Amino acid sequence: MNQGILGKMGMDSKMALGYLGVLIFMMGDGLELGWLSSYLTDNGLTVQQSALLFSVYGFAVAIAAWLSGVLAEVLGPRKAMMIGVTLFVLGTFVFLTIGIPTMNLAVMIPTYSLRGLGYPLFAYSFLVWITYYAPSDKLGTAVGWFWVAFAGGLNVLGAYYSSFALPILGEMKTLWSALIFVALGATIAILLNKEDNSSQKKFKTKADALKYIAKGITIAFEKPKVGLGGIVRTINTAGAYGFVVFLPAYMMEIGFTRTEWLQIYGALWSSNVIFNLIWGIVGDKLGWRNTIMWFGGIGCAVFTAGLYYVPSVMGPNYVATTVVAICFGACLAAYVPLSALIPSLAPENKGAAMSILNLGAGLSQFIGPVIVGAFIASVDTVGIIWIFTGLYLFSSFLMIFVSLPKHDNEVHTADPVELKAAQ
């Protein structure tokens, strides 16, 4: 009965525990996102030092995101995920026992970055596992469920948990409690989730394995459409990571309270979590590329501009601005089918293709704030909004060239809608 229900929802019962494990793990990883920076600056770090810490962390995330795809192929997803958990636990332990108590950047930067290496290896290796396991006609839905679990844990449940835990436990004990979620999520996703041996690629020698790791870069040139997909993925969440740097100050200048802005921001990500699944299902029906191009690129461009102009024109109108934020979060999720489309462009090297996509996901966390830092002084808030609006339009344009094969012998890799067009 349960298997039938899960099947109708696009989630195979053998992978369901993996999704749950990712959700719980990401709660542990994301519980400090909304407050750690301010806590560190209140306890000895300058704003510049805090920014440096998070910038290096973002770079570590990008590197690990890239490695996750090829390591999942070389070692198998399960082992790659275990490496991620180990790095996360080690980094957290030293960061909390030595780094924060001493406020010594020489300790804090490498240990917090070790955490940054850990979570992509865990989460994105599971995403590679999904791309091998899920049938092609349900792949968009399957990756949609992944992003529901990922974003739901990282951006929603982790934040809500902190809002309740901080008054009771305090900052340090709340940070330590992350290890409980990480351990529980890892146990469920790695040990209890059913093994699928077909997801593992065997390499006879170390040289073969190293050659495949290199393919995690070269495939972007061998198959330019994969490289374009990586660029689109970078643009996808660059805006969202950039917004947190300057939008709160702008919203409060308009007249919103801090609480109202946090509620608007929470509505954005809650919408994103819901639509991660919806767009996965829509993509399987309407076409992966069509969904990304029209609802993702064009939609994000429209509502990025809306996040500036609606409160600018209407003032601190809570309802109207919240609606725009919800729409932006929904359109941000419309890029979800990329995780189905890109590996389908390289069916013989899905792990390498996913490495490019995961690299884009990691780079967005680094590039979004960099764009703000580089241009905010010269172009002000409205200029930054138009830079991100232009980038979203550019991503939609790039998707014109990311088409799937329609040949009869490649029909199993094709986008559902493009399949029909080819027949």
Residue 280 contacts residue 337 (beta carbons within 8 Å): yes
Going along the chain from its start, the domains and CATH numbers come out as 15-202 (1.20.1250.20), 223-423 (1.20.1250.20)
Q: Give residue-wise pLDDT tens across range 345-385.
A: 988 888 888 889 989 988 988 888 888 888 888 999 999 99
Amino acid type, 238:
A
Mean pLDDT (whole number) for 172-179: 96
Cα first-last separation, the chain: 35
Q: Give residue-wise pLDDT tens across range 71-126.
A: 888 888 899 999 999 999 999 999 999 999 999 999 999 999 999 999 999 999 99
Estimate the share of the chain in helix, then strand, then coil, as percent rounded to the nearest 5: 90, 0, 10
Residue owning tokens 């890029």:
335
pLDDT interval class at 36 (50, 70, 90) = confident
How would DSSP label each residue in 412-423? GGS-HHHHHHH-
- Whole-angstrom Cα distance, residue 158 to residue 172? 15
Residue 358 contacts residue 343 (beta carbons within 8 Å): no
